Structure 1
């Protein structure tokens, strides 16, 4: 043994110990270098923070072969993010409302806490993940990211990030099974949110029980089924819409709340000066949120409040209508905020209010306005001064176009060309205006009205609007080019990479490693042209992810899973909208060609090589082409075009008989005075049209029964078919009466004295006749 270590290090003593200690020294240095390198320069796919625990790099993981998940509207499944192997801890975030402080929106992770500890996970995860969680779970309590740690940041994208569909259920509410089918198709077309307007189909209870329909509304179980499907299976952002000022006819039409009307003759709006009004509004919000437990936003309506400052109480309360409006909206918004939700309102009443009044009211700190314009020329209705005002007052705004229910109270088929023009214009407007907001714009809603108000007749039914819904959804989900830039508001969680990541995402400089920039020689093609093996890597968008399959909202550990903000930032913003679309080189990228391809795939249309936008700008403005497709409700859609032709033919025949032919006019019928030979000639087409209308309406009844209740089917038939059929029936009966006469009186024909009285004409002396 050497005498001491010093002698060994200086070369004295035996050579073998000297070599041993030299190797030990070199090994120690290497270990230190490796540790320092790992801490400051982590390898791809792993970042080290918060005490050295590993967090997941979604951008790197998404680039792994065969792993890119469809990210338009849902979180990737645990299996997808894990790549089918390995033991990476997957980080999924969920935004929940802290039960102790309803004003704080807290983020919680589904696997790894942001303080570095492991969170508890749902019991139905894979055995490998359960073992991983059990190993790292310290105490089992999930860490909470406080509201101070959550940020809202802008993201530049070439599509609108939040794309919502609106269901107006106050007219012909479809069965839940059909609504779910529509939602699955909408998701495939790029929709990732749902705005639900229940009105009198909601299962109101207690003091509000008389607001519900006597029969035909939804039960609590049905409401929960639809919400759970949208949120848990499709991962939609679901927003309830509760009218709290105007358009409350369903509340005020009865005797129970008649005293809350602004004017007694019109149940359109509440009187904001009566204290009981807020009591009713609060109860409506409470009952809505009882079923919409996970919603982050509540739309409180407040559009078209025509009756303002008309009752004596309101006249005495304020000199200005604007103050009455803002005071009521502020009270409702504060109540929604106290429940931990963000209130949204329609913007039309704000357009005429000055910046000074809006600032003094403090409304900008309470609500987010949703700007709605359904006409093709958006700028005509909301000019530059309105956008400047909103940018000064509000932190962000929403937009709202329409896929049906906007161009005629009695239409049966949406004029798709007009809706497409409106949507296209909205894309341009949001692209132009979004930089005005530090956080960007919040999103765009495609509204689908069933009635113009509670008392109006039905307009286009949902099956008739489905092709328009899919086409317009694709319009806002597929970018026009890689150079488009829309500033979108996103929720962010801070991390050590956040600033760098955000700045890299908001630059206009192309990123060679990201497919979010499409070169001009790229084109979208269907996976039907690809090897079938790729389909296994990309499950259909309508299929629930494994992380959602077994979750129950009643589970005490339930937390709503939404796409982590870093997924939103890292995702391919021009990626496929469904599992079947791939990017391939070889052709110039054409948005409308891709829209046509996706449209035909989603609605199962035959191969069609003409761009649909050319059809819409030509003779097929309602896209009759879609009647060749195969989707739920297509039989009704197909019948509508046949019915449209028959009604047009019937109206022309009726007008011709009454105005252009001289033998079966109302005058002839009143006096039973005509030539039988001519009557047969004039009415020859009436029996044929009657029979054809009966056949078509029978087909319509059969096609609508699986979608709507019988009462709703009959209501639509009465409003759209019965009157024209009755007109033909009455003509046929009148013709039979005219032909039955074979003796006629001498002229003059007796005067109709009722006409003289009605029109206040000079009375003629019968002796002078």
Structure 2
């Protein structure tokens, strides 16, 4: 019995040693290792395999003192350890990664660690163009930032840019009232196109021609073109001045983009249609429905492009097509004049986009583009990006591609990165904040692993990030040095500060002794007030440091208008809140004597006493 017990102990010791070796091996794993380290690693692996064999020998004896259930669990554990050791010895070059919570681990084995270009197998998830969206209606970057950003896009596998200029384009002549005061100049646009060309990125301009025309219709000069006089979103398609305005914008875009192959004309979220007198009369005269009124305008704009710029294919967002029948789409020859961009930014594509929509599209359109999101789609006031959410969105899109890829040609994927929800909305996640999400999703769609739940080492390598990279807000801090990484770091610090402050205020002490009632009546226990507000000093100082560091980091990427707007949107409200809490704390701690209850009665009694005192003084 003594020998058997000893061997049982040896089993435990052996398993412990193997676990420690495995942990050390995981920590030390790297894509590139020196020859000395290779030798040391080989010796370590030999030692591990030797221990495994000893473990196998011991387990036969130790089974004599264990129950069958215990033996089964032990063998299962041993099998996992040995399999992991073998996998690690083969896939060591994969490098550092972070796993999404509650999901099965899958290892990508198609990364080339010898250079900066990502090498993928022939059978990748998506073989079409990969277009990165630049939403310039908010936080337009400096040209100098594009000089660093475009090579990064190319390394990550992007093939083009969807540039939504809005009021940042330098319209001139009759359109000179449209550009923002800080709009890009003509030379800036030429430089952007040059940078795109040398980085082999196709440029697709996006110009709104129906809905989301707030940047024009907000102006008094163009307000008469609104479909609804009080709402500046949608332009009236029936007004005689609408088409000349739109074609003038198209002509100026084309003048500076003479070599483009595709032009995106927007046309999404046309919420108000057929509501003005002109549109009502047009529908009556032509016996149109609102859908036909919509299609007439879209096709008319597309025909103009095809007539005067025959080598350019118009693209439109698809959402207004989804409720239309194939008969309506074919009646206006929609597939002849344009290609739709099917967009959806949530992970639930299977439930939110009915199969009937896809069957209609398969019947009508020979070519389709699809659009996902890498940022700017989880809330108009979100300033940190949820990578896991957007990865789920891309995974859902790859399911769609796998389902319909043999029936329709998916020309390209547009990875949108919205900077505002519309022209009037506040800034959401800044571009540098969303770069880790963009990188992860670009790499994912080029892989052959549909269930990828890891951030490959190559993403961390290109972005110069230390592992782990947080997949969701609040899961940790990023430590990166890619262009603009300081913006990401400051945003994450602000998010962490906000979380900590919310946690302090949700503590039972704050809920019981630091409420608006306590503050209004200057009535609380000082010891509890001190406890509830113990971190206010630190929060106050941390916010000052965040503002300083964010201002410095944003100066590299943006002009001072963008920096000022972001600070005013996200730092000032929190600063005001902390100052208010600080003043409340001081007010409560200034009290050293408190009245009898009820407090309202005490206040009334105090007011009566004060009134009598003033009366006596008057007499």
What TM-score comes out, normalization by structure 2 length? 0.72
The 5-angstrom pairing of residues 111-190 of structure 1 reads 159-190=126-157
Q: Deviations over 1:311-342 (max 9, x none)?
A: 12222221521011101101111111122221
Aligned position for 1:726: 576
Higher helix share: 2
Q: Is the 8 A contact 1:416 1:623 kept in 2?
A: no
Query: What is the rounded CA distance, in whole Å, between the counterparts of 2:338 and 2:519 in structure 1?
Result: 62
Q: Is the 8 A contact 1:624 1:641 kept in 2?
A: no
Task: After TM superposition, give the deviation of residue 623 of structure 1 in Å.
Answer: 9.8
> Is residue 159 of structure 2 the alignment partner of residue 221 of structure 1?
no
Q: Is the 8 A contact 1:185 1:470 kept in 2?
A: no
Given the alignment, which residue of 336, 359, 367 partners 2:305? 336
Aligned position for 2:503: 652
Aligned position for 1:478: 447
Secondary structure in structure 1 of the residue aligned to 2:177: helix
Given the alignment, which residue of 364, 367, 383 partners 1:396? 367
Query: What is the rounded CA distance, in whole Å, between the counterparts of 2:163 and 2:547 in structure 1?
Result: 30
Aligned position for 2:416: 447
The 5-angstrom pairing of residues 196-275 of structure 1 reads 196-214=163-181, 216-231=182-197, 233-275=198-240
Q: Is the 8 A contact 1:657 1:665 kept in 2?
A: no
Higher Rg: 1
Change (3 A) 1:362 1:719: same
Given the alignment, which residue of 538, 558, 563 partners 1:688? 538
The gaps in structure 2 that reach 5 residues or longer are 1-115, 602-619
The 5-angstrom pairing of residues 331-730 of structure 1 reads 331-338=300-307, 339-340=309-310, 341-437=312-408, 440-480=409-449, 596-606=456-466, 620-621=471-472, 627-656=478-507, 660-662=511-513, 664-674=514-524, 676=526, 678-730=528-580
The gaps in structure 1 that reach 5 residues or longer are 1-68, 73-154, 482-589, 752-769
> Is residue 245 of structure 2 the alignment partner of residue 280 of structure 1?
yes
Query: What is the rounded CA distance, in whole Å, between the counterparts of 2:349 and 2:172 in structure 1?
Result: 40
Query: What is the rounded CA distance, in whole Å, between the counterparts of 2:347 and 2:203 in structure 1?
Result: 27
Aligned position for 2:160: 193
Task: After TM superposition, give the deviation of residue 671 of structure 1 in Å.
Answer: 4.1
> Is residue 268 of structure 2 the alignment partner of residue 303 of structure 1?
yes
Task: After TM superposition, give the deviation of residue 598 of structure 1 in Å.
Answer: 2.1
Task: After TM superposition, give the deviation of residue 667 of structure 1 in Å.
Answer: 2.9
Query: What is the rounded CA distance, in whole Å, between the counterparts of 1:597 and 1:637 in structure 2?
Result: 19
Change (3 A) 1:699 1:158: closer
Task: After TM superposition, give the deviation of residue 172 of structure 1 in Å.
Answer: 0.7
RMSD over aligned CA atoms reads 2.9
Aligned position for 2:4: none
Q: Is the 8 A contact 1:467 1:626 kept in 2?
A: no
Query: What is the rounded CA distance, in whole Å, between the counterparts of 1:628 and 1:441 in structure 2?
Result: 36
Aligned position for 2:26: none
Query: What is the rounded CA distance, in whole Å, between the counterparts of 2:596 and 2:472 in structure 1?
Result: 55
Change (3 A) 1:313 1:657: farther
Query: What is the rounded CA distance, in whole Å, between the counterparts of 1:723 and 1:402 in structure 2?
Result: 28
Query: What is the rounded CA distance, in whole Å, between the counterparts of 2:206 and 2:139 in structure 1?
Result: 17
What TM-score comes out, normalization by structure 1 length? 0.59
Q: Deviations over 1:151-201 (max 9, x none)?
A: xxxx99864231111100111111112123222111111111111001111
Q: Deviations over 1:412-469 (max 9, x none)?
A: 22111121121122223223212223xx221111111101111111111010111111
